[in-house]
């Protein structure tokens, strides 16, 4: 059974930082890619950052480029380092895994097969 567990969310002031962790029940290399997604109330779930398992290529949504970094911490953990946080980053953040190979590094929610329960990130003064 595949399990993904997110941790590290919380309340932070604008300009602050948070570090999200995604623990994967199997080795990261068992999947084609791991991604971080977010969903704010009334909005569609969007891909924030995705990383390929084999060669560590990455892809980011434009709104977080230069502020967020996705990386592999060890064989079964993916990190999302979030700096210079803005109120519009407030959302529930999910990590997800993609089983099957496809061109490039997909980062749309419909490409991913397994999901964690999510962790709340709130950016507010």
Q: What average pLDDT does the segment 36-49 reach?
A: 96
Q: In the prediction, which pLDDT does 102 show? A: 86
Q: In the prediction, which pLDDT does 9 show? A: 96
pLDDT tens digit sequence for 69-124: 999 998 899 999 999 999 999 999 999 999 988 888 999 999 999 999 999 999 99
Confidence of residue 38 (pLDDT cuts 50, 70, 90): very high
Q: In the prediction, which pLDDT does 53 show? A: 87
> Within 10 Å of residue 97's Cβ, how many Cβ atoms?
25
Q: In the prediction, which pLDDT does 29 show? A: 81
DSSP 54: T
> Within 10 Å of residue 35's Cβ, how many Cβ atoms?
28
Closest CA to 72 of 109, 99, 35: 35
pLDDT tens digit sequence for 18-37: 999 999 988 878 889 999 99
Q: In the prediction, which pLDDT does 8 show? A: 97
**How many Å apart are CA 28 and CA 37, to the nearest integer?**
17
């Amino acid at each position: 059974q595949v399990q993904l567990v997110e941790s590290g969310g919380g309340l932070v002031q604008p300009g602050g930082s948070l570090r999200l962790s995604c623990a994967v029940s199997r080795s990261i290399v068992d999947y084609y890619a791991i991604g971080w997604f977010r969903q704010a109330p009334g909005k569609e779930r969007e891909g924030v950052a995705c990383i390929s398992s084999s060669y560590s290529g990455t892809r980011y949504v434009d709104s977080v480029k230069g502020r967020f970094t996705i990386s592999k911490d060890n064989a079964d953990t993916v990190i999302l380092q979030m700096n210079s946080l803005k109120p519009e980053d407030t959302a529930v953040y999910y990590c997800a895994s993609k089983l099957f190979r496809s061109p490039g590094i997909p980062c749309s929610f419909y490409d991913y097969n397994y999901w964690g329960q999510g962790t709340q990130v709130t950016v507010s003064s």
